[in-house]
């Protein structure tokens, strides 16, 4: 395949007037509206857009992965290397899938089968398209495929199961699986969204290297413009099922024509923007003080295959051994201060926030709220202190009870902590709803009737309902679209300032942290390695790890 590459006038993939509709209970929804684009050989084309813009739908239709019904391809043509894909029957489609067009998915955690070893999954991919290979040759091919994506000791790794790999490693395995049959086109659907920045940078380097070596075409779907700029040759911007703009990558970023593209670009909190607020030093005691806090989990058990009944019975009474995930964390939060907490996944930042919220027990150290040590407080004190301490979770899709209307969700904290007299509750709920930018009519609705951004607003309203002193925001915008991210962040910032709240802002997105936070703490492997005023930290990072982290951030 790789020989017939350059100067091929015909595009590898040619999509003409593609229109896809979904038949839903609310009627016909046009997901992709007469979209045409081409992918040339050896080119990386990025499709950018927010969720619901039809970018994934249009790509899924290439491999016939859309559920039909409800999806229906109304019109259009998808021609791949001279083959009309929409006219293909199932058998022919199977020959193309994985063999000539491969795909990697957003979430490596769920796209590998947890019950099969990596080796058998790789071999399955090889055998389904290269049945002539004997066992030995297939295995060699699998090993070399793993080697190519940078997995060391591939022979041993073949026998391992997905849970023994980290997220980045799993995505590498996915890439190996996708490339093992030497496809001409690779469709990558947000391949790094679920990964850390440093891992993301590695995956990009890998994709770029492989692309240059094999000269495959990559169709890259993303909502992250900074990422797209690093990787792609060409980009097209989709909005509401239509392509609003397309062009060569540098030209598109330097001179966006369509207002939507401009809006997308403007919505990115650029790292260059200095934060306007500075760390307030006053002599008042801190609102929240974390001193020498260590947190551990019960160590993970061995496989269940060898457990004897007597051992199992004993284990019920024995204290499990503890694996420490946060080591001696120290910081103090002043009133009105926003403290950023950054680090890769698994560094313990969410565990620490859980401990501050008294959702997770600490091993040692003290957490004091208004000079009251919560780690040694009785249940009653802890419960009443919850009024002063609230949390906003990452995923607004799971943090709201789907069976409770907005009204009930907001009524609960008001009733519990007796914030306002009974007669004023209704008015208070309306006021809260208004404050987060929703309409009074919304209170009767249930969470599923709202978009992600609106749900996060409800979660913010719920946190504000008890009039807390400290809010912990655990990646509050990372599940949202970029333009919505900016709105929710600004709302959060405004409310925190208006109510003079303190906030701990947990994020893996450094540019957002820089935009928002007064001080920033960097965590690595359970330790706070650096804590400084945000600007100082970004301009003169002291620790090696902070420097690595900053360098990995894709920027415009």
Partner 1 sequence: MASIPSTRQNPTASSSIDIVEGRSLWQDALSRLKQNKLAMTGLYFLSFMILIALLTPWIAPYSYETQNLDMGATGPSWAHWLGTDTFGRDLLTRIMYGGRVSLMVGFVATAVALVIGVLWGAIAGYVGGKTDAIMMRTVDILYALPFMIFIILLMVVFGRSMLLLFLAIGCVEWLTMARIVRGQVRVVRKQEYINAAIAMGLSHWHIITRHVIPNILGPIIVYVTLTIPSVMLLEAFLSFLGLGVQPPESSWGLLISYGVESMEEYPWLIIFPGAVLSLTLFALNFLGDGLRDALDPKASKD
**List of residues contacting partner 1 (CB under 8 A):** 25-26, 316, 354, 357-359, 383-384, 386-387, 389-391, 393-395, 398-408, 411-413, 416-417, 426, 429-430, 440-441, 443-444, 446, 448-449, 459, 462, 466
* Burial (0-12, 13-18, 19+ Cβ within 10 Å), 289: middle
Whole-angstrom distance, CA of residue 49 vs CA of residue 51 = 7
Cβ nearer to partner 1, comparing 260 with 393: 393
Q: CB of residue 287 vs partner 1: minimum separation in angstroms?
A: 17
Q: CB of residue 447 vs partner 1: minimum separation in angstroms?
A: 8
Whole-angstrom distance, CA of residue 514 vs CA of residue 431 = 31
Asked if 236 and 59 count as a contact pair (C-beta separation under 8 A), the reply is no
Please report which helix (H) or strand (E) contains residue 502, including its range: strand 502-507
CA angle 101, 50, 263 (to 5 degrees): 130
Instruction: Please give the radius of gyration of the chain, using alpha carbons only, rounded to the nearest integer.
Output: 26
Residues for the chain: how many in total?
A: 556
Cβ nearer to partner 1, comparing 105 with 450: 450
Q: CB of residue 386 vs partner 1: minimum separation in angstroms?
A: 4
Q: CB of residue 86 vs partner 1: minimum separation in angstroms?
A: 33
Task: Decide: helix, strand or coil at residue 436.
Answer: coil
Cβ nearer to partner 1, comparing 28 with 272: 28
Question: Which phi and psi (to 5°) does residue 308 adopt?
Answer: -90, 155
Q: b/e for 376-412, b at 16 or more Cβ within 10 A?
A: ebeeeeeeebbbbbbbbbbbbeebbeeeebbbebbbe
Cβ nearer to partner 1, comparing 440 with 544: 440
Q: CB of residue 424 vs partner 1: minimum separation in angstroms?
A: 14
Cβ nearer to partner 1, comparing 277 with 425: 425
Q: CB of residue 399 vs partner 1: minimum separation in angstroms?
A: 4
Q: CB of residue 87 vs partner 1: minimum separation in angstroms?
A: 37
Q: CB of residue 508 vs partner 1: minimum separation in angstroms?
A: 18
Cβ nearer to partner 1, comparing 73 with 430: 430
Q: Which two tokens stand for residue 55?
A: 């970018």
Q: b/e for 1-33, b at 16 or more Cβ within 10 A?
A: eeeebeeeeebbbbbeebbbbbeeeeeeeebbb
Asked if 114 and 163 count as a contact pair (C-beta separation under 8 A), the reply is yes
Cβ nearer to partner 1, comparing 233 with 387: 387
Cβ nearer to partner 1, comparing 262 with 398: 398
| CA-based nearest residue to 361, from 344, 341, 382, 338 | 382
Q: CB of residue 213 vs partner 1: minimum separation in angstroms?
A: 42
| DSSP code for 365 | E
DSSP string covering 144-191: HHHHHTT-SSHHHHTTS-GGGS-HHHHHHHHHHHHHTT--SEEEEEST
Cβ nearer to partner 1, comparing 26 with 276: 26
Q: CB of residue 387 vs partner 1: minimum separation in angstroms?
A: 6
Asked if 267 and 485 count as a contact pair (C-beta separation under 8 A), the reply is yes
Cβ nearer to partner 1, comparing 77 with 426: 426
């Amino acid at each position: 395949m790789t020989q017939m590459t350059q100067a091929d006038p015909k595009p590898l993939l040619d999509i003409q007037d593609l229109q896809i509709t979904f038949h839903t209970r609310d009627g016909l929804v046009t997901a992709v509206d007469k979209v045409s684009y081409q992918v040339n050989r050896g080119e990386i084309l990025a499709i950018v857009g927010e969720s619901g813009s039809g970018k994934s739908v249009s790509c899924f239709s290439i491999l016939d992965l859309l559920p039909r019904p409800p999806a229906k391809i109304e019109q259009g043509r998808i021609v791949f290397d001279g083959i009309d894909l929409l006219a293909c029957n199932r058998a022919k489609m199977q020959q193309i899938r994985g063999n000539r067009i491969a795909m990697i998915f957003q979430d490596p955690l769920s796209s590998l089968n947890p019950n099969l070893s990596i080796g058998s999954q790789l071999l399955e991919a090889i055998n389904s398209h290269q049945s002539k290979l004997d066992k030995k040759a297939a295995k060699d091919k699998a090993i070399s495929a793993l080697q190519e994506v940078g997995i060391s000791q591939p022979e041993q790794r073949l026998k391992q199961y997905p849970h023994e790999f980290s997220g980045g490693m799993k995505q590498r395995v996915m890439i190996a699986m996708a490339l093992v049959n030497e496809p001409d086109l690779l469709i990558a659907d947000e391949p790094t969204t679920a990964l850390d920045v440093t891992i993301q940078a590695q995956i990009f380097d890998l994709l770029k290297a492989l692309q240059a070596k094999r000269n495959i075409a990559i169709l890259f779907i993303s909502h992250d413009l900074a990422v797209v700029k690093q990787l792609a040759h060409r980009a097209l911007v989709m909005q509401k099922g239509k392509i609003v703009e397309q062009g060569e990558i540098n030209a598109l970023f330097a001179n966006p024509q369509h207002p939507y593209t401009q809006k997308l670009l403007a919505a990115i909190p650029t790292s260059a923007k200095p934060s306007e607020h500075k760390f307030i030093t006053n002599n008042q005691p801190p609102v929240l003080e974390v001193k020498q806090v260590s947190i551990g989990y019960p160590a993970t058990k061995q496989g269940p295959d060898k457990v004897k009944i007597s051992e199992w019975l004993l284990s019920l009474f024995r204290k499990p051994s503890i694996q420490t995930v946060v080591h001696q964390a120290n910081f103090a939060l002043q009133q009105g201060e926003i403290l950023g907490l950054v680090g890769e996944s698994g560094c313990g930042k969410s565990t620490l926030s859980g401990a501050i919220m008294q959702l997770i027990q600490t091993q040692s150290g003290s957490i004091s709220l208004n000079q009251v040590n919560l780690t040694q407080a009785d249940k009653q004190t802890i419960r009443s202190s919850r009024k002063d301490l609230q949390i906003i979770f990452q995923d607004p899709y799971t943090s709201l009870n789907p069976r409770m209307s907005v009204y009930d969700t907001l009524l609960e904290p008001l009733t519990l902590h007796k914030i306002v007299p009974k007669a004023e509750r209704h008015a208070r709920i309306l006021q809260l709803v208004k404050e987060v930018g929703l309409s009074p009519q919304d209170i009767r609705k249930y969470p599923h009737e709202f978009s992600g951004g609106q749900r996060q607003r409800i979660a913010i309203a719920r946190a504000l309902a008890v009039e807390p002193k400290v809010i912990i925001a655990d990646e509050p915008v990372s599940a949202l679209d970029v333009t919505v991210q900016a709105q929710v962040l600004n709302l959060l910032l405004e409310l925190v300032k208006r109510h003079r709240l303190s906030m701990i802002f947990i994020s893996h997105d450094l540019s957002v942290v820089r935009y928002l936070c007064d001080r920033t703490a960097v965590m690595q492997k359970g330790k706070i390695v650096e804590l400084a005023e945000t600007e100082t930290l970004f301009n003169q990072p002291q620790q090696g790890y902070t420097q690595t982290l900053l360098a990995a951030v894709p920027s415009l």
